[in-house]
Amino acid sequence: MSFLKKLGLAILKCVGIASGIEQFLPAKAATETGKIVGELQQIGGIVVTAEGMIGAIGGANGATKLKAATPFVAQLIQQSELVAGKKIKNEELFIQGCTSITSGAADVLNSLE
């Protein structure tokens, strides 16, 4: 089974778990859970895309892939309800946090069989 197929199955499993939980939550909480799952899937998609595109160049290491994916994750986070409408006071710290999130998502995906 290919990595992407395994990844797709893992994402579906996570969505299934989240969907199962949603039936026990109030409507607003269920909506928020769906948004969070969607954003996590988007972050995972960004990491997979960077892996494929940068990896296709050949010789690219993890740091290069992380550097390529982080701006896209940062943009997604800026659009999320967590940050939307707020001014970023410390850009360096924001980018550091986005890098950590991107790296964490890559670690999670790399941990999968």
What tens digit of pLDDT does each residue of 52-101 get?
A: 777 777 766 888 889 989 999 999 999 888 888 889 999 999 999 999 99
Structure tokens at 36: 């969070």
To 5 degrees, how large is the angle CA 82–CA 86–CA 11? 25
Q: Collapsing DSSP states into helix, strand and coil, what is residue 60?
A: coil
Per domain, the residue ranges of the chain are 3-111
d(C-alpha 42, C-alpha 77), whole Å: 10
**pTM of this prediction?**
0.64
d(C-alpha 2, C-alpha 96), whole Å: 32
Q: Collapsing DSSP states into helix, strand and coil, what is residue 50?
A: helix
d(C-alpha 69, C-alpha 79), whole Å: 16
What tens digit of pLDDT does each residue of 91-112 get?
A: 999 999 999 999 999 888 888 8
